[in-house]
Amino acid sequence: MAASTYGRRAGGSGILPRASAASGRPSVPSSVDQATGADAYDQWFDSRWGRYAAAIERDTLLQAVGPVEHDLVLDAGCGTGRFSIELARVGARVVGLDIDIDMLAIAARRLAGSVVLGDIECLPVRDGVFDVAAAVTVLEFVPHPDRALAELIRVTRPGGRVVVGALNRRSPWGVLHRRRGGAWAGVRLFSTDEIAALGEGQGGALSMTGALLAPGPFPGLDHLGPALERIGRRFSRIGAFQVLVMRRR
């Protein structure tokens, strides 16, 4: 759930974070300071809430994707490559793609240079190249999520997997942050049903999972959080992080 609020730069070549005090994520002082935006975004993962939430998201994602050893994986909208590197750690050959050059510069350091500048809605990639194509908390920021998903499907080989990680507006976290407004107000958060419908509209979902029940950082999170997550496994539809996996026909 590493996201603050992003807006497309005039000219269409980039994405910039705005302040995100309500999210518990780093506020970015100026939309002109792109490097600071990408750095601040990346540093969120090392915050107390960032460590907690990102670990749950990583585990949920890896479990939903299944084995990826030796697979060629596209991480579209890879940001600073925090999840790309987790996929690489379990044996995938990962290519990170992002529309924001500053995000990509950080991802390039993590991924030993295997990165591409591009738009998920118009991927600069041939059909059927990847074993797995993933987008983690990216569809929230694009004008046409259905077009982005169609592109992920197009670049995946028949029998390969398409994976979408998305933030759930009907989760405790989603409800709290929508109520607070602020940085998240401009971001389109999906419900579980909306993400499932997006997948069904493109040929069907293989699985849908959800996790991250905590509404945000609270005192005792490190002790109470794991118990909350265990209970939450029965209520995965209200997890803040949901993962859709589709099999490419």
Ligand X SMILES: C[S@@+](CC[C@H](N)C(=O)[O-])C[C@H]1O[C@@H](n2cnc3c(N)ncnc32)[C@H](O)[C@@H]1O
Footprint of ligand X on 111-140 (CB under 6 A): 119-121, 136-138
Beta-carbon contacts of residue 89 (< 8 Å; ≥ 6 apart): none
Binding of ligand X by 34 (CB under 6 A): no
Among 40, 56, 62, 78, binds ligand X (CB under 6 A): 78
Binding of ligand X by 190 (CB under 6 A): no
Question: Quick one: which segment of 66-74, 97-105, 176-184, 228-236 binds ligand X (CB under 6 A)?
Answer: 97-105
Shortest distance, position 98 Cβ to ligand X, whole Å: 5
- How many residues form the binding site for ligand X (CB under 6 A)? 21
Binding of ligand X by 102 (CB under 6 A): no
Identity of the residue, 139 or 214, whose beta carbon is nearer to ligand X in the bound complex: 139
Alpha-carbon gap, residue 66 to 78, rounded angstroms:
19
Shortest distance, position 202 Cβ to ligand X, whole Å: 17
Question: Quick one: which segment of 79-87, 198-206, 211-219, 241-249 binds ligand X (CB under 6 A)?
Answer: 79-87
Contact residues toward ligand X (CB under 6 A) are 2-3, 6, 15, 77-79, 82-83, 98-100, 103, 119-121, 136-138, 141-142
